Amino acid sequence: MSEASPFDVEATRKDFPFLEREIRGQQVAFLDSAASSQKPRAVIDAVSEFYATSYANIHRGVYQLSAEATEKYEGARDQVQHFLHAEDRREIVFLRNATEAINLVARAWGDENLQPDDEILITALEHHANIVPWQMLSERRSCRLRVAPIDARGEIDLNAYESLLSERTKIVAITHVSNAIGTINPLPEMIAMAKARGITVLVDGAQAVPHMNVDVKSLGCDFYTFSGHKLFAPSGIGVLYGCHSMLESMPPFLGGGDMIETVTFEKSTYAKSPGKFEAGTPDIAGAIGLSAAIEYLKGFDQAQLERWETGLLTYAEKRLSELDGLRIIGNARNKAPVVSFVVDGVHPHDVGTALDQSGVSVRVGHHCAQPLMEIFEVPATVRASFSIFNTPSEIDRLTQALSETMEIFR
Ligand code: PLP
């Protein structure tokens, strides 16, 4: 990997207090950011300062603390609006996570707009979060779930995808980036093909937002979802972007406080979006933490971060391919910093446990993408995923520990 990279990874590492932690006497090499990211000091401080100095419930209070909390929570909405390049702050709905956001659309939009025999199109790369809600919707509405195939590299077969779009297709729900094998989907082409036929598009951006600039306006999707916890923010806060006219046309998902305009025992009327979709007390501190995470990321040059992470991916693929008996799963030409692999004769769980002995944290399993594992004919993989604080020397540690593990099992 290029030593000439101007990105100062050592300074970045100082921002992440978890790196002071030792596992089995060694500094942890955390290679599982795709599951959930570690948190920089800026986020931890923003959340603890909020709890220590200005905590109160939002929207309802007439007193100073509540006004301050409301201002911070609504400020976080503005922050996310600019982060996604959305046109209007009312297009940003705070929820628990990407899973809840997809379920909201499947329920609130899907139940209203799908008729028997209509079709929903997903891809073979989806996380269970972008499969199961559509299966449940298909059952409720007697619809059909169709799946766009991938090729041996793990890239979408665009011709097959296009041929699956028909007048029956009512929504396309596609991942921006595969969590299991890292493929970055060609969203502009895929969205344009769907939009040319008037089809609604939802993008699952859970694995994209930590690694690339996302512009929902230029993508032209109707919905975009992500979880804060993969973007250096706390767990418990997630985002649904929905284009304003779409959100306004949808009924609420959950009923309760804060989502209403008026309530009588006979009938309630609802607030406008996004309030209509934020019933009950939300994760106020989570939203503030998310805003701090985005602010933290704004301190970097995005292109530099992407170069650093791509460099890590390239280096990891090179080092891993030196190991005889190790096979990388997913070789898409355009990949996020995620590398999935299997080792001959050693179950991924054994690999993961052995790596942990060396202080190397990786993910093992089906990565909530069981159908994708079936396509590659593996029960599970080992997955190393990289973030802005990772270094080539951590990849050397991964390679060394893998080599020793493979020796033991040989
Ligand atoms: N979509 C993708 C691509 C993911 O990787 C994940 C989580 O791993 C999800 C959706 C679901 O995210 P969450 O569990 O935060 O709702």
The domain locations on the chain are 9-30+301-409, 45-297
Rounded to the nearest angstrom, the distance between the alpha carbon of 128 and the centre of ligand 1 is 8
Q: What is the pLDDT of residue 194?
A: 98
Q: What is the pLDDT of residue 6?
A: 78
Q: What is the pLDDT of residue 60?
A: 79
Q: Is the pLDDT of residue 330 over 50?
A: yes
Q: In terms of Cα–Cα distance, which of 311, 404, 363 is closest to 34?
A: 363
Q: What is the distance between the alpha carbons of residues 147 and 126, in angstroms, rounded to a whole number?
A: 9
Whether 37 lines ligand 1, by a CB cut-off of 6 Å, is no
Q: What is the mean pLDDT of the chain?
A: 96
Task: Give the pLDDT mean for 346-356.
Answer: 96
Whether 126 lines ligand 1, by a CB cut-off of 6 Å, is no
- What's the CATH number of domain 9-30+301-409, 3.40.50.2000, 3.90.1150.10, 3.40.630.10, 3.40.1360.10? 3.90.1150.10
Task: Give the pLDDT mean for 3-22.
Answer: 88
Band of residue 5 on the pLDDT scale cut at 50, 70, 90: low
Q: What is the pLDDT of residue 410?
A: 79
Task: Give the pLDDT mean for 1-7.
Answer: 59
Band of residue 2 on the pLDDT scale cut at 50, 70, 90: very low
Whether 155 lines ligand 1, by a CB cut-off of 6 Å, is no
Q: In terms of Cα–Cα distance, which of 343, 358, 366, 339 is closest to 397?
A: 358
Place of tokens 């909390």: 69
Task: Give the pLDDT mean for 213-239.
Answer: 98
Task: Give the pLDDT mean for 113-142.
Answer: 98
Q: Is the pLDDT of residue 260 over 90?
A: yes
Task: Give the pLDDT mean for 397-407.
Answer: 96
Give percent of the chain with pLDDT exceeding 70: 99
pTM as predicted: 0.97
Whether 239 lines ligand 1, by a CB cut-off of 6 Å, is no
Rounded to the nearest angstrom, the distance between the alpha carbon of 105 and the centre of ligand 1 is 15
Task: Give the pLDDT mean for 279-304.
Answer: 97
The Cβ of residue 52 has, within 10 Å, a number of other Cβ atoms equal to: 9
Partners of 22 in the β-ladder: 27
Q: What is the pLDDT of residue 4?
A: 46
368 is catalytic: yes
What is the crossing angle of helices 64-84 and 284-298, to 10°? 50
What number does CATH give the domain 45-297?
3.40.640.10
Segment (H or E) for 81: helix 64-84
Task: Give the pLDDT mean for 81-86.
Answer: 98
Query: For a pocket test of ligand 1, which of 230, 381, 385 has the largest count of ligand atoms closer than 8 A to its C-beta?
Result: 230
**326-329: strand order across its sheet:** 326-329, 338-343, 381-385, 363-365
Q: Is the pLDDT of residue 296 over 80?
A: yes
Segment (H or E) for 240: strand 238-242
By the 10 Å C-beta count (0-12 exposed, 13-18 middle, 19+ buried), 109 is classed as: buried
Partners of 335 in the β-ladder: 183
